[in-house]
């Protein structure tokens, strides 16, 4: 079945970077875009950006421009999202989600990133 | 594009008919999806393209609307439906979500 499995929880210090992985299985990796979404504790969903696993092209939300980098490894069907210059407001659960044009399905299980000194 | 969901909180009983509204700040055709999220879980897709039911989702869920106004209806609320619901527009980058509607047991 189609599945996205994310890496485990991370704790990072302010100013540092964190890299979250998302391993895809059950479908042709290069056929579907992958989105990254985050959710701060008790808050709603926030779209961060999209990557085309085929060519690696990306589009980022303006809010994260300059701080986020989305990459992929086609040999292992794995996507990565790296966020730098972390601050306390970046504490959130980060999700990857497969995106046909009209919807996000399925989602990864989420990765909690805690930014704390 | 801003999405405004209403209400933000809803208290209802098992068997009730529930309607959630999502208004877009500009027209998005039918590029709207609805998700259900339970505590500690990732969102699950319910409806896409405004009214297309995702495979495996019970038929008590339905969606309607086009342009700027959309609704999600649960025809007869079941115990497993108590959750938070989000709308999402996929018409224009940046993609955006509504603020959510939390459905709780009365």
pLDDT, tens digit (0-9, with 9 covering 90-100), for A41-81: 999 999 999 999 999 999 999 999 999 999 999 999 999 99
Q: Is the pLDDT of residue A83 over 90?
A: yes
d(CA B35, CA B20): 12
- Cβ separation of A102 and B99 shorter than 8 Å? no
- Cβ separation of A104 and B54 shorter than 8 Å? no
Of A44, A105, A107, Cβ closest to residue B54 = A105
Mean pLDDT of all residues in B59-86: 97
Q: Residue A101's pLDDT band (boundaries 50, 70, 90)?
A: confident
Average pLDDT, chain A: 97
**Residue in chain B nearest A65 by alpha carbon:** B94
> Nearest to residue A49, comparing CAs of A67, A32, A64?
A64
- Cβ separation of B44 and A107 shorter than 8 Å? yes
Specify whether the CB–CB gap between A3 and A24 falls below 8 A. yes
Mean pLDDT of all residues in B29-34: 97
């Amino acid at each position: 079945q189609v599945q996205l499995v994310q890496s485990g929880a991370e704790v990072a210090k302010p100013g540092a970077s964190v890299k979250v992985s998302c391993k895809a299985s059950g479908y042709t990796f290069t056929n579907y875009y992958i989105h990254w979404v985050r959710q701060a504790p008790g808050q709603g969903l926030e779209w961060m950006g999209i990557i085309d696993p085929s060519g690696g092209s990306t589009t980022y939300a303006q809010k994260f421009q300059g701080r986020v980098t989305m990459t992929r490894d086609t040999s292992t069907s794995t996507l990565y999202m790296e966020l730098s210059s972390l601050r306390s407001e970046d504490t959130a659960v980060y999700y990857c989600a497969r995106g046909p044009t009209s919807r996000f399905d399925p989602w990864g299980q989420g990765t909690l990133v805690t930014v704390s000194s | 594009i801003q999405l405004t969901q209403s209400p933000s909180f809803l208290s209802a009983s098992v068997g009730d008919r529930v309607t959630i509204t999502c208004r877009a700040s500009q027209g998005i055709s039918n590029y709207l999806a609805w998700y259900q999220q339970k505590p500690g879980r990732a969102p699950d897709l319910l409806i896409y393209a405004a009214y297309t039911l995702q495979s495996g989702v019970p038929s008590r869920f339905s969606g309607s609307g086009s342009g700027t106004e959309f609704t999600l209806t649960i025809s007869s609320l079941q115990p497993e439906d108590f959750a938070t619901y989000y709308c999402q527009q996929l018409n224009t980058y940046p993609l955006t979500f509504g603020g959510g509607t939390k459905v709780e047991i009365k």
